[in-house]
Chains A and B, each alone.
Chain A
């Protein structure tokens, strides 16, 4: 399977975070499933024309989170879905993400009820029919 990454150098988000974010999203939406193999560091670096260390950094962040696992000599694979964070930590991360969301939206003067309605619709859409890469 050839994954279609979309990398924008020059953006406020570092390239390794862009790679990381896209893989994370493909895992979350089921496009990448347990046991699927990711391209090698060198192959992906070549495909995206970026420094291999940038790809390696993205992979190592994902490895540290338990989302992917590397098997020496065979490559990097999507790991079994498991939670490495405690419930407390998951809730802490959720409130961080919510705070960022509200920081951005508080100034738009959209009533909270409207925000929540749209959030539910977008969330349902995200988890059911996300576009395949």
Chain B
């Protein structure tokens, strides 16, 4: 088995004439918690559905656990846990019945994991699934997807609509699952402070195009903000490569860059008489600036690029 549990080559999907996923080359390392980020409509769910063989790619290919995603056998599927967006349940079943129903589809079903997740989310198995709150439904869905002990978990926006307590339980479950190193989680999310807690690696999808695929810390190191302080007369600045955003006040100009190198920083220092200071960005600010309105698709950040 390869060191990657998911690999795609030029994976592309058109709906009619609209390209929703374009030439995606993605690699998800085995044992990682992989955050799949992007705005609404960026193509995350479509990508996930292609990986699971639920949507046929228009072009390109993808392997999941070493198998072609369009030809997954039932046994292959049993080692992939998929939590679709929205926490759907059969409302007329009790929690107990949901468990029995789901278990019937699997050769391997660890009922102690099922019970542990239920109790972690404080669920009573006699309750009807249709009467559960959003957070409780999330807990039930998670119990159902974890009990077969899949090698790879794919969670499509699992935190959507959850309160802070349920989100914390979700994160704890994700960390618990990956305590053995051969388990991998790919999850999409908009909650970047949660992503920061759990993710080793991230990929950023922007209008169908992969814009970053690297360690979380690498991404942060590559999106940097500098503030130039002046007396009201902004020093003249040349065209700067990698400039994502400029923000001006009366006495400050703040510049945010992607992949800026030491040579450029030095150049700005010289031009501004050293009145420049780096201001650290939160992951969320870095992300918003990176995929913001300016929207050039030209920046790409990955681990191999070394700008430090």
Contacts and interface: CB of A to CB of B under 8 A. Distances in A.
B172 A49 contact: yes
A106 to B, nearest CB: 9
B175 A49 contact: yes
A12 B198 CA distance: 17
A44 interface: no
A131 interface: no
B243 interface: no
A49 B171 contact: yes
Query: In the complex, which range does the number of interface residues on chain B fall in?
Result: 20 to 34
B277 interface: yes
Nearest to A42: B179
Interface in A1-54: 9-16, 42, 45-46, 49-53
Interface string B244-285: 000000000000000000000000000000000101111111
A4 B175 CA distance: 21
A13 B217 CA distance: 11
B282 A15 contact: no
B268 to A, nearest CB: 15
Main secondary structure of the interface of B (DSSP, over half): helix
A53 B201 CA distance: 11
B220 A14 contact: yes
A83 to B, nearest CB: 26
A15 B197 contact: yes
Interface in B181-219: 192-194, 196-200, 217
B228 to A, nearest CB: 12
A120 interface: no
Given A10-B192, A10-B283, A51-B197, A46 B175 contact: yes
Nearest to A103: B277
A107 interface: yes
Interface residues of A, number: 19
B289 to A, nearest CB: 13
Contact of A10 (B172, B277, B280, B282): B282
A9 B197 contact: yes
A10 B196 contact: yes
B173 to A, nearest CB: 11
B200 A51 contact: yes
A15 B196 contact: yes
B120 interface: no
B297 interface: no
Which has the most chain B C-beta neighbours within 10 Å: A13, A46, A49? A49
Contacts of A53: 200
Contacts of A45: 175
B277 A50 contact: no
B175 A51 contact: yes
Contacts of B196: 9-10, 14-15
A51 B280 contact: no
B168 A49 contact: yes
Given A45-B175, A49-B175, A12 B282 contact: yes
A86 B167 CA distance: 47
Contacts of A107: 229
Interface string B146-178: 000000000000000000000010011001000
19 contacts: A9-B197, A10-B196, A10-B283, A13-B280, A14-B217, A15-B197, A49-B168, A49-B171, A49-B175, A49-B197, A50-B175, A50-B197, A51-B33, A51-B199, A52-B179, A53-B200, A57-B217, A103-B277, A107-B229
Interface of A: 9-16, 42, 45-46, 49-53, 57, 103, 107
Interface of B: 33, 168, 171-172, 175, 179, 192-194, 196-200, 217, 220, 229, 277, 279-285
